[in-house]
A and B are shown apart, each in its own frame.
Chain A
Amino acid sequence: MTTTRGGASRWVENRPARGLRRLDLHELWAYRELAGFLALRDLKVKYKQAVFGVAWAIVQPLATVAVFTIVFNRLASVQSEGIPYPVYALTGLTLWTYVSNGVNRATLSLVGNPALVTKVYFPRILAPIASVLPATVDLVVSLVLLGILIPVYGVALSGTALTLPIWVVGATTTAIGVGLIFGTLNVRYRDVNQAIAFFIQLWLFLSPVAYATSSVPENWKMMYSLNPMVGWIDGLRWAMLGAPWPGLGLLISVVSSLVILTLGVAYFQTAERRFADVI
């Protein structure tokens, strides 16, 4: 006997929604296991047929950092606030790769699973959110790598490293916010797939991944910090490498990140009711 049966069960209504639809957190919680299963499926599929498995998660950041070091540090002599460039770049790259992977996956989460949208009911917002989760595996691997390389390059880890979860959670909100916007657009417009690659490339150059925020001209800095990745990456560098505290720029980034997340959720919730008819 299921407990929901009988007089205790409530009516669940389906009627045309007017205006913004509220996010039903209670329902999201009830469906949390589904999010887990979807994330687990993506993970298993990702690693099942990959010969090198998790090794990719190690090789990729290392190779990228090597290229960055040669191109930006040696050739273009980009400054890294007195911190050895390889770990400086790897710190930025770790968070950046996590977010850009997450956004990419979220963008595809709905159009990649049309049957989920047209054949079953669940709070659809779980699909893009769940699709960000598998990116955390690469993130963890990359962070472990960072933890090993930091002392190798003679940088001392301090207590600030304990704030690591804050920056990761912050970056996750950004990934989900941007992912929701692109995921929703992608249901509606077919050229979003091409736009996303271009957008992410631009975003990379507008984020302090290969260079330091301090090299941005002072009067541009506030505008620059509207990119939430500025705050999260600078924060992580402060925590792990003892780079300067980002200050006001961080506040701007936090606000901007929350605004993006809110917009993403609102846009998704508004468009969601038509997904099954459009996809």
Chain B
Amino acid sequence: MVGPAIEMIDVCKRYLLGELRRNDSIRDALSRTVSRALRPASRSHPEVWALRDVSLQLEEGRALGVVGRNGAGKSTLLKILGRITEPTQGMSRTKGRVACLLEVGTGFHPELTGRENVFLNGAILGMSRREIRQRFDAIVDFSGVEAFLDTPVKRYSSGMQLRLAFAVAAHLEPDILIVDEVLAVGDFEFQKKCLRRMAEVEKEGRTVVFVSHDLEAIARLCPSAVWLEKGSIQQEGSATQVIDSYLASAVSEGGAVGNELIRAGPLLLHSVAIHDEAGRRLDVLRRDARFSITVDLTLEERLPGFDLALYVVNSNGVRIFDEAWSDQGTKRPEGPGRYTVALTVPPILNVDEYRVGLWSGTAYETLVHQEVTAVFRLEGSVKRRPDRAVELMLPWEVIPAHQPAPAQPPDEL
């Protein structure tokens, strides 16, 4: 019979803006105290509630994923769990040893050697010297930097530093492991290694809390998840369900065209939107599913030769594709009437932010050319390479070079 290992009861965290910043000087503080004494009512500092009434419970040995937009309070939640900061109200408690990885390599000092930093970082993460010594070889092995162990870390490449730092973290054996977005760094092989290690940690019966934007990783590692929205729990439950609703919540408020009509001659553009396979209008989608770009338009009069093109540009400004009716002999509407136009995009785009451009006109004139009509983001794992724009799975063929040449037909002379 296992009980909960983590409990949070009505946890609130308030940050005061303006007050309590280190850029205060003593003089500022004194003058503030004086002015406060003179006008006691003026004690109003803008405040931000990073967390509001968050309650959750996690059974021992379970893994919990935390999803949410930037600024939703995910990091604050972890900091309270890890006792790095105090809640303003409420209570959080944990059972057993907690290791909190908000950053890899905390306390690494550039002047110290790899070996020295392993001990230092291990101690900072809560390992005893004996534990570090026991696992030292495994740590070095995991990091793959043994040749440079006695070199100051300042001579390491950033990748090597990261490997070493993560190797230390990976060999913690806490009862509760709290991990922030640390896996978002490093090359793919290393990330894979880290995720594998996290899965092991979970199998060993440890309790894991994992924050990530990599929703696929969360779905894979965590049976359950919570979704934080503006400091409160929006939903908790099975990870796949929570992730689905989280994605679905990113309901488009309309792109640049939005709900504003664009009128150009006989053409009336109502909206340009992104829909997932289930027909939901979204602006954050999963990378691994097809989606469609939908244009809602009205032709107020007959327009022979009416043509439309949609193109998608990634965050580097690369135009990934540009599809027009006239390229493909699509059956074109001539009007008058209202039409819904959908362009289906297979799951070939990598994780990124995209904007949709629209051109419309005839062979003789341009009616509309709007570079940004909708914006959407694809989330998920970058799989092998974050740098590629598209993943096409093109067919390969491998032929041995020294195959006996096929028998030559005799010369016909």
CB proximity of A15 to chain B, nearest CB, Å? 4
CB of A45, distance to nearest CB on chain B (Å): 5
A189 to B107, CA, bound (A): 23
Asked if residues A120 and B90 are in contact (CB atoms below 8 Å), the reply is no
Interface footprint category on B: 35 or more
Interface contact B93-A190, CB-CB below 8 Å: no
| Separation of A48 and B86 alpha carbons in the complex (Å) | 38
B123 interface residue (CB < 8 Å to A): yes
Which chain A residues numbered 132 to 163 have a C-beta less than 8 Å away from chain B?
none
Tell me whether B100 is interfacial, beta carbon within 8 Å: yes
Q: Knowing A14-B93, A16-B87, say if A190 contacts B25 (CB, 8 Å).
A: yes
Return the contact of B124 from the options A13, A111, A116, A278 (Cβ within 8 A): A116
Q: For B104, give the chain A residue with the smallest CB separation.
A: A119
Q: Is the CB of B107 within 8 A of A278?
A: no
Contacts of A5 in B (CB 8 A): 96, 175
A16 and B89 form a contact (CB under 8 A): yes
Q: Is B245 part of the binding interface, using a Cβ–Cβ cutoff of 8 Å? A: no
- The chain A residue with its CB closest to the CB of B80 is A14
The answer to whether A15 touches B95, judged by C-beta atoms less than 8 angstroms apart, is no
- A70–B90 Cα distance when bound, in Å, is 64
Residues of A within 8 A of B123 (CB): 33-34, 36-37
Using A2-B97, A120-B84 as known contacts, say yes or no to A15 and B90 having CB atoms under 8 A apart: yes
Q: Which A residues lie within 8 Å of B98 (CB)?
A: 12, 121
B25 proximity list for chain A (CB < 8 A): 189-191
Rounded to whole angstroms, the CA-CA distance of A111 and B116 in the bound complex is 22
Q: How far apart are B31's CB and chain A's nearest CB, in angstroms?
A: 13
Find out whether the CB atom of A189 lies under 8 angstroms from the CB atom of B86.
no
CA distance A179 to B79 in the complex (A): 27
Which residues of B have CB within 8 Å of A273?
Answer: 85-86
CB distance from A79 to the nearest CB of B (A): 39
Q: Judging by beta carbons under 8 Å apart, are A33 and B129 in contact?
A: yes
Task: Report Cα–Cα, A88/B111, bound state, in Å.
Answer: 38
Q: Is the CB of A12 within 8 A of B91?
A: no
Contact A116/B107 with A9-B175, A274-B20, A278-B21 known, Cβ cut-off 8 Å: yes
Q: Confirm or deny: B211 has a beta carbon within 8 angstroms of a beta carbon on chain A.
A: no
Interface centre among A2, A34, A37, A119, by most chain B C-beta atoms within 10 angstroms, is A119
Verify B83–A15 contact, CB threshold 8 A: no
Judging by beta carbons under 8 Å apart, are A190 and B97 in contact? Answer: no
Asked whether, in the complex, the Cβ of A277 is within 8 Å of the Cβ of B103, the reply is: no
Other-chain contact of A115, B22, B86, B103, B174 (Cβ < 8 Å): B103
| CA of A65 to CA of B22, assembled, Å | 39
Q: Chain A nearest CB: distance from B136 CB in Å? A: 14
Q: Is B68 an interface residue (CB 8 A)?
A: no
**Distance in Å: Cβ of A161 to nearest Cβ of chain B:** 35
* CA distance in complex: A274, B21 (Å): 11
When distances are taken between beta carbons in the complex, the residues of chain A under 8 Å from B87 are 14-16
A16 to B123, CA, bound (A): 27
Cα A278 to Cα B88 in complex, Å, equals 14
Q: Contact: A14 with B86, CB < 8 Å?
A: yes
> With A48-B111, A49-B111 known to touch, is A12 a contact of B94 (CB < 8 Å)?
yes
Instruction: Tell me how far the C-beta of A71 lies from the nearest C-beta in chain B, rounded to whole angstroms.
Output: 33
Bound together, the chains give a CA A17 to CA B91 distance in angstroms of 10
Enumerate B252-300 residues with CB–CB distance to A below 8 Å. Answer: none
The 8 Å CB contact of A120, one of B21, B100, B152, is: B100
Given A190-B23, A278-B22, answer yes or no on A14-B173 (Cβ-Cβ < 8 Å): no
Q: Please determine whether B106 and A120 come into contact, CB atoms closer than 8 angstroms.
A: yes
Check B102 against A45 for contact (C-beta < 8 Å). no
B-contact 0/1 string along A174-193, CB 8 Å cutoff:
00000000000101111110
Instruction: Say yes or no: A12-B22 contact (C-beta < 8 A), given A2-B175, A121-B98.
Output: no
Assembled-state Cα–Cα distance A12/B15 (Å): 24
- In the assembly, what is the distance between CA of A101 and CA of B98, in Å? 35
Instruction: Using CB atoms, name the residue of chain A closest to B1.
Output: A7
Question: Within 8 Å of chain B (Cβ to Cβ): is A276?
Answer: yes
Does B120 sit within 8 A of A, measured CB to CB?
yes
A279 within 8 Å of B by Cβ? yes
> For B126, what are the chain A residues with a Cβ–Cβ distance below 8 Å?
122
Contacts of A115 in B (CB 8 A): 103, 106-107
Complex Cα distance, B29 from A192, in Å, reads 13
On whether A116 and B106 interact (CB within 8 A), knowing A41-B120, A188-B24, A277-B85, the answer reads yes
* Least distance between A131 CB and chain B CB atoms (Å): 13
Enumerate chain A residues within 8 angstroms of B23, measured Cβ to Cβ: 190
Residue in B95, B98, B109, B124 whose Cβ sees the most chain A Cβ within 10 Å: B124
Give A59-118 interface residues, CB cut-off 8 Å to B.
111, 113, 115-118
The reply to whether B22 and A122 contact each other, CB–CB distance below 8 Å, is no
Residues of chain B within 8 A (CB-CB) of A2 are: 97, 173-175
Please give the distance in Å from A232's CB to the nearest CB on chain B. 29
A121 close to B83 (CB less than 8 A) = yes
Q: Which residues of B contact A120 (CB under 8 A)?
A: 82, 84, 100, 102, 106-107, 124-125
- Judge whether A118 and B95 touch: CB under 8 Å: no
Chain B proximity of A75: nearest CB distance (Å): 37
Q: Assess whether B119 is interfacial by the CB under 8 Å rule.
A: yes
Give the contacts of B4-40 with A (CB-CB under 8 A). Answer: 15, 20-27, 29
The distance in angstroms between the C-alpha atoms of A174 and B192, with both chains bound, is 52
Name which of B20, B29, B107, B120 has the most chain A CB atoms within 10 A of its CB: B107
Q: Interface 1/0s, chain B 143-185, versus A by CB < 8 A?
A: 0000000001000000000000000000001110000000000
A-B contacts, 24 listed (Cβ < 8 Å): A2-B97, A4-B96, A4-B175, A9-B175, A12-B98, A13-B93, A14-B81, A14-B86, A14-B93, A15-B90, A36-B123, A37-B120, A45-B109, A48-B111, A115-B103, A118-B79, A120-B84, A120-B107, A122-B124, A190-B24, A192-B26, A195-B26, A274-B86, A277-B85
Task: Please give 17 more A-B residue pairs, beta carbons under 8 A apart, in addition to A34-B123, A41-B120.
Answer: A2-B175, A4-B175, A14-B86, A14-B87, A14-B92, A16-B86, A188-B20, A188-B22, A189-B22, A190-B22, A190-B23, A190-B25, A195-B26, A273-B86, A276-B84, A277-B20, A278-B20
What 4 A-B pairs are tightest by C-beta distance, nearest first? Answer: A15-B91, A9-B96, A276-B85, A37-B123
